[in-house]
Amino acid sequence: MDKLPIKNWPEEERPREKLVKFGKEHLTSCELLAIIIGTGCMKDNQSYSALDLASNLISKHKNLKGMLDLSITELSEIKGIGMVKAVQILAAFELGKRAVSEKNGNNTSFRCSEEVANYYIPLMKDLKKEQFRVIMLNIKNKIIKEILISQGSLTSSIVHPREVICPAIRESAASLIFIHNHPSGDPEPSIDDIEITRRLCKSCSIVGINVLDHIIVAENGYFSFKQKDML
């Protein structure tokens, strides 16, 4: 049966029909991914259903978590996954991460460090490279804008104060929150993290911009410089 097109399977076995009839919680990860992929393909005179493609993807990367930060090129390494299917998969994963973030926090304003961490952990904890982002807020602590300042290890891609201060002044930001991720899974700050935070806080103070916090997010939780009285 697995070599037949899904449309020729018994109706109760087709992922879409199964979801409609029994609900999303009754589908496996492969079946849910197959719905996103949509259609199978023919490769090397062999037929692959959407479920075959989904199973091959998950098997190659061990689980869904291993697929969260893949590029279009990496997804396309599986036979039958071209650019269109890869884009659909990436879009679905990104929507999922954003939905979890919005459920965990408020993306228009934050009331505490924990709320910031809860919003950004789903978005950043599985990234393979460190990212340093700046959240700009107005005088009422409403978010004006978020910008990516640096990507890569903070020891090699040093965050310079002017890269933070110039856009903050341009956007008339009253205060800032720094946030970056640790791909290692450990949120504890390094010596470089502490030094960068000290330097940025000092520079922002000179131009009258308040730094509310620097939060490090990782798979094993988060670290708040404010909560640890390190600002």
Same structural domain for residues 22 and 69?
yes
Let me know if residue 230 belongs to a domain: no
Tell me, yes or no, whether 13 and 30 share the same domain.
yes
145 lies in the same domain as 190: yes
User: Given this model, what pLDDT does residue 213 score?
Assistant: 96
CATH assignment of the domain containing 34 = 1.10.150.20
Does residue 209 fall inside a structural domain? yes
3-state SS assignment for residue 208: coil
Residues 146 and 82 in one domain: no
Averaged over successive runs of 10 residues, the pLDDT of the chain (231 residues) comes to: 59 78 84 86 76 86 78 84 88 81 62 88 86 91 87 67 92 94 92 92 94 94 94 89
Residues 52 and 145 in one domain: no
Q: In total, how many domains does the chain have?
A: 2
Residues 38, 124: one domain? no
What is residue 156's predicted lDDT score, i.e. its pLDDT? 43
Q: Is residue 72 part of a domain?
A: yes
Assess whether 110 and 211 both reside in one domain.
yes
- CATH code for the domain in which residue 123 is found: 3.40.140.10
| pLDDT at residue 8, as a whole number | 63
- Domain presence at residue 12: yes
Q: Do residues 140 and 72 share a domain?
A: no
220 & 196 share domain: yes
Q: Are 114 and 193 in a shared domain?
A: yes
Q: 71, 100, 129: which is the final residue of a domain?
A: 100
Task: Give the Cα separation of 211 and 203 in Å (integer).
Answer: 10
Residue 83, exposed/middle/buried by CB under 10 A (0-12, 13-18, 19+)?
exposed
**Strand ranges (E), the chain:** 41-43, 46-48, 131-137, 143-151, 175-181, 210-218, 221-224
Residue for token pair 């509310």? 212
Instruction: Give the predicted TM-score (pTM) of the model.
Output: 0.60
Domain boundary among 73, 100, 127: 100
Choosing from 38, 72, 100, the residue where a domain stops is: 100
Q: Per the domain annotation, does 1 fall within a domain?
A: no
Task: Check whether residue 29 and residue 43 sit in a common domain.
Answer: yes
Domain of residue 142, residue span: 106-224
- What b-and-e string marks burial along 175-187, b requiring 16 or more CB atoms within 10 Å of the CB? bbbbbbbbbeeeb
Q: 216 and 111: one domain? A: yes
Residue 231 in any domain: the answer is no
**All residues at 6 or more sequence positions from 176 whose CB lies less than 8 Å from its CB, including other chains:** 134, 135, 136, 137, 164, 168, 204, 209, 210, 211, 212
